[in-house]
Amino acid sequence: MTVITIGIDLGTTFSCVATIDEHGKPIVLKNEDGNSITPSVVAFERAGNVIVGDEAKNIQSLGDANVASFFKREMGNPDFYLTFYGKQYSPTDLSAYILAKLKADAEKVLGKAITKAVITCPAYFNAMQREEVKKAGKLAGLDVLRVINEPTAAAVAFGIKSEKEQTLLVYDLGGGTFDVTLMKITADEIAVLATDGNHQLGGKDWDDTLREYAVDKFQEEFAENPLEDSATANDLLVAAENTKKTLSQKTTTNFVIAYNGNKGRYEITREQFEDATKHLINQTLTLCESVLAAKQMDWKNIDGVLLVGGSTRMPQVESELKKHTDNLLHGINVDEAVAIGAAIQADLDANEKHYTLETKQSSSKSGYTLEGRRTIRDVTGQSLGMIAENADRSKYINTIIIPRNTNIPSCEVRPFQLRTSSRQDNEIEVYVTQGEGLLPSGCVILGKYVISGITHEKGKAVCDIAYHYDKSGTVEVSAKQRSTDKNLTVRKDNPGDMSWTDLCPKDRDPEPELEHVTVLLTVDTSGSMCGDPINEAIKAAHRFVNEIDLTHCSVGLMMVADRVLMLCYPTQNSKEIGRAIDTLNRPSDIPSENIYGAPLNLDAGVGNAAQPFTEARQCFDNIDGIKFMLVLADGVWDNQPYAVQEAKKCHADGIEVAALGFGGADKKFLHDIASCEENAIFTNMNQLGESFSKIAQVITEGKTELQRRN
Ligand code: ADP
Ligand code: MG
């Protein structure tokens, strides 16, 4: 039996509900007042009544102060509360009132009880904010099947109508937020490639600017500031929004301000309005360009821009976007598309069609048809990371585990090592972050995860910690002890005061538990490496970075061809290393500051073979802790005796050299450059990943000489 579900666009200014009717067609459900969108406004009455939607918005425009709106911008902010008649409400509580109203109105139209829903949120909402959306749904009596991104939902609504394959930007300018998403619609998939946004940018900022503009004129004329009176300020905001909307229709209108017995009447043209708000529209265009750049794209690489959100009705949006693209897609209702996409997803989820979209409604006039299958693939808008100490223990840093724009759901496992005690409980505390900041203070701290139940073992215990992004973009953490393969207990605590992350780790705890390890990956990319071998090496290097414990290890990357290039100095930032690894087979992408002199000649052999060792000694010069150089080679180097001589200097400097060879690598040479017998490893191309993985494990477990395991 088909389960009736709804999709809810929980907007900053307006919300909307849709469902799939008995013919399989998505429809928008009108509210009690007969409108397809409901203002996201909640009014509180002294008697304890709570009024939501159109009526609440009317109450607000009369200047009543006991009205809440625009709280979605504060969702997930633990310090944000609004107080009405002595009671505090969080943005989650307020959202729950809206959801409850939407649910009740939908039930009236459908004549049935509804419990299952998909709710949308801006793509850049962090995991905590998504949790809050789920919580609000639960408070409203809904079983939230999942939380999906607004632009993805819009694209789903559009995508199922689209007949051709295309790459699109979804430009969603709402009342309080701006979201931009790069998507690809193919015959069998709707995939999000990248997303970005600004949750403090929306139609309201245009209203504010317009109000400011008129108030300036009033002040010039009467030398009085009407914004000093909060009721007038509120009225003027409502007037500004109306004026803005009028300017979407007409090229000129009047803005009237009456205050303190004075009345000013100002003519405003569309052109003046557009000039005054140019900086706002430019911010949206910059974000569009950065999302394109995230996928090495440009305006010319997209087939069109899909407009979503009420503010895209401003003619300015269209005229500015037209400068960059010929194709603005109007195929959808900007107010309803998000709810419709959510309704489609809800139907898929509840009726167990999983990710596959098969709509049979091909005869429907409205055109919501889809032939064949569509998979919906979304990405995470923000990187997931954790707090670690940097190599010299001078500061706390954010190390990224799952980079932004990774497909969700997604899971990454990272090792963590610790010394255990037989006398007391052994615990690990991991602070999970979200955001792109290099320092913890530049990120949102999602929580303190305490991992316990670790069994005492000799040496260092290794726990593999798994970080999951689920299909809603919320985060879960699980852990296993490697030696016992036992699942460990994970408890999520409130992170509390995080000001310690601004301190110096060395000062807080002079004795490090584990010594820092610096690894310099050195890859011979000359001659014979071209093609498959280099691609295998890239895969293996990525695996190595994933499997090493970056909380106390740094990894650098050096490339050896006719010259030696330092592609990445040792760092704990997995993203940075990852990017450098990817340039191994794309020398044209290597930043020019890395290219000394002439362009690289990849077809030549290794020129001065000693150079990598000379370079490595320099690189390690100021680094403390365990130093490790891992050389990957598949051929024979020029001037080998000199290379061996320089490698020996590395050994003398305390740099442990391991040599990994395959293909035509010279075994004797590998032995000569390695610091000990065990560190010369001969493998084959298909085993490269395994070999790198073993080395990462050994390093993570705190051993050095590579094959002396057990
Ligand atoms: P959200 O999803 O953030 O709730 P919406 O997508 O519903 O927002 O858009 C609401 C915004 O659209 C408001 O700022 C509103 O003023 C603006 N808007 C609606 N209609 C028009 C119009 N005709 N011209 C300009 N702006 C408009
Ligand atoms: Mg919206």
Render pLDDT for 617-673 as a digit per residue (tens, 0 to 9). Answer: 998 988 888 899 999 988 777 788 888 999 999 999 999 999 999 888 888 999 999
CA of 12 to the centre of ligand 2 (A): 7
d(CA 232, CA 239): 10
Q: Whose CA is nearest to atom 27 of ligand 1?
A: 311
The 3-state DSSP class for residue 98 equals: helix
Ligand 1, CB within 6 Å, residue ranges: 11-14, 174-177, 202-204, 241, 244-245, 248, 309-311, 313-314, 335
Band of residue 611 on the pLDDT scale cut at 50, 70, 90:
confident
CA of 438 to the centre of ligand 2 (A): 31
Q: What pLDDT was estimated at residue 73?
A: 84
Strand partners, 448: 431, 493
> How many other C-beta atoms are found inside a 10 Å radius of the C-beta of residue 509?
11
Roughly what angle, to the nearest 10 degrees, separates helices 230-249 and 54-61?
120
pLDDT tens-digit readout, 73-82: 899 888 899 9
Ligand minimally distant from the alpha carbon of residue 199? 1
In percent, how much of the chain has pLDDT > 70? 91
Of 191, 213, 292, nearest in space to 257 by CA: 213
Question: What burial class does residue 254 get, using C-beta atoms within 10 Å of its C-beta: 0-12 exposed, 13-18 middle, 19+ buried?
Answer: exposed
Q: What pLDDT was estimated at residue 488?
A: 96
Ligand minimally distant from the alpha carbon of residue 238? 1
Band of residue 442 on the pLDDT scale cut at 50, 70, 90:
very high
Q: Sign (positive/negative) of CA torsion 365, 371, 373, 374?
A: negative
d(CA 338, CA 153): 5
Of 241, 214, 199, 264, nearest in space to 60 by CA: 241
Please name the amino acid found at residue 640: Q
Of 705, 3, 127, nearest in space to 467 by CA: 127
Q: Whose CA is nearest to atom 24 of ligand 1?
A: 245
In percent, how much of the chain has pLDDT > 90? 59
13, 124, 248, best to mutate for ligand 1 pocket (most atoms within 8 Å of CB): 13
Reduced DSSP (H G I as helix, E B as strand, rest coil) percent helix, strand, coil of the chain, to 5: 35, 30, 35
Note the residue count of the chain: 710
Query: 417 pLDDT exceeds 80?
Result: yes
Query: 133 pLDDT exceeds 80?
Result: yes
Instruction: Give the CA dihedral 360, 364, 367, 371, nearest 10 degrees.
Output: 20
d(CA 558, CA 660): 15
Which range among 104-108, 248-252, 623-627 shows the weakest confidence by mean pLDDT? Answer: 623-627
Tokens 């009047």 map to which residue? Answer: 254
CA of 174 to the centre of ligand 2 (A): 5
> How many other C-beta atoms are found inside a 10 Å radius of the C-beta of residue 46?
8
Mean pLDDT score, 102-109 = 96
Q: What pLDDT was estimated at residue 434?
A: 95
Band of residue 355 on the pLDDT scale cut at 50, 70, 90:
very low
Max alpha carbon distance in the chain (Å)? 96
Q: Whose CA is nearest to atom 8 of ligand 1?
A: 174
- CA 568 to each of CA 404, 455, 539, 580, 590: distance values in angstroms, whole numbers, following the listed order: 20, 37, 17, 6, 10
CB 448 within 8 A of CB 429: yes
Q: What is the mean pLDDT of the chain?
A: 87
Task: Enter the pTM of the model.
Answer: 0.79
The residue among 354 and 428 whose pLDDT is bigger is 428
Please name the amino acid found at residue 510: P
Ligand 1 atom nearest 245 alpha carbon: 24
Mean pLDDT score, 258-265 = 95
Ligand 1 atom nearest 40 alpha carbon: 4
Ligand minimally distant from the alpha carbon of residue 37? 1
CA of 158 to the centre of ligand 1 (A): 19
CA of 33 to the centre of ligand 2 (A): 20
Q: Whose CA is nearest to atom 23 of ligand 1?
A: 245
Mean pLDDT score, 281-287 = 97
CA of 147 to the centre of ligand 2 (A): 14
Ligand 1 atom nearest 206 alpha carbon: 14
Ligand 1 atom nearest 248 alpha carbon: 24
CA of 174 to the centre of ligand 1 (A): 5
Q: What is the DSSP letter of 666?
A: -
Q: Sign (positive/negative) of CA torsion 294, 300, 303, 309?
A: positive
pLDDT tens-digit readout, 156-165: 888 766 667 8
Q: What is the DSSP letter of 456?
A: P
The residue among 569 and 513 whose pLDDT is bigger is 569
The 3-state DSSP class for residue 19 equals: strand
Ligand 1 atom nearest 204 alpha carbon: 14
8, 9, 14, best to mutate for ligand 1 pocket (most atoms within 8 Å of CB): 14
CA of 334 to the centre of ligand 2 (A): 8
The residue among 98 and 676 whose pLDDT is bigger is 98
Band of residue 524 on the pLDDT scale cut at 50, 70, 90:
confident
The residues, ordered by sequence, that sit 6+ positions from 499 with a Cβ below 8 Å of its Cβ are none
Ligand minimally distant from the alpha carbon of residue 13? 1
* Domains within the chain, CATH numbers bracketed: 1-161+333-360 (3.30.420.40), 203-278 (3.90.640.10), 384-508 (2.60.34.10), 517-700 (3.40.50.410)
- CA 583 to each of CA 54, 471, 701: distance values in angstroms, whole numbers, following the listed order: 55, 31, 29
d(CA 270, CA 274): 6
Ligand 1 atom nearest 202 alpha carbon: 14
Roughly what angle, to the nearest 10 degrees, separates helices 203-222 and 230-249?
110
Of 648, 363, 307, 700, nearest in space to 514 by CA: 700
Ligand minimally distant from the alpha carbon of residue 244? 1
Give me the DSSP letters along 33-46.
Answer: TS-SSEE--EEE-T
Query: 185 pLDDT exceeds 70?
Result: yes
Instruction: Give Cα 260 to chain centroid, integer Å.
Output: 49
CB 666 within 8 A of CB 515: no
d(CA 127, CA 469): 9
d(CA 514, CA 625): 10
Q: What pLDDT was estimated at residue 704?
A: 52
CA of 510 to the centre of ligand 1 (A): 55
Ligand minimally distant from the alpha carbon of residue 57? 1
d(CA 97, CA 271): 40
Q: Whose CA is nearest to atom 6 of ligand 1?
A: 309
Tokens 């052994």 map to which residue? Answer: 426
Q: What pLDDT was estimated at residue 192?
A: 87
311, 314, 333, 336, best to mutate for ligand 1 pocket (most atoms within 8 Å of CB): 311
CA of 257 to the centre of ligand 1 (A): 23
441 φ, ψ (degrees, to nearest 5) = -65, -20
> How many other C-beta atoms are found inside a 10 Å radius of the C-beta of residue 36?
17
Query: 709 pLDDT exceeds 70?
Result: no
Query: 367 pLDDT exceeds 50?
Result: no
Q: Which residues, by Cβ under 5 Å, contact ligand 2, an ion?
A: 11, 174
Query: 363 pLDDT exceeds 80?
Result: no
CB 506 within 8 A of CB 394: yes
The residue among 598 and 200 whose pLDDT is bigger is 200
d(CA 308, CA 9): 12
The 3-state DSSP class for residue 254 equals: strand
CA of 4 to the centre of ligand 1 (A): 29
Query: 370 pLDDT exceeds 50?
Result: no
Which range among 108-112, 428-432, 460-464, 513-517 shows the weakest confidence by mean pLDDT? Answer: 513-517
For residue 176, give both structure tokens. Answer: 């309080």
pLDDT tens-digit readout, 293-331: 999 999 999 999 999 999 999 999 999 999 999 888 876
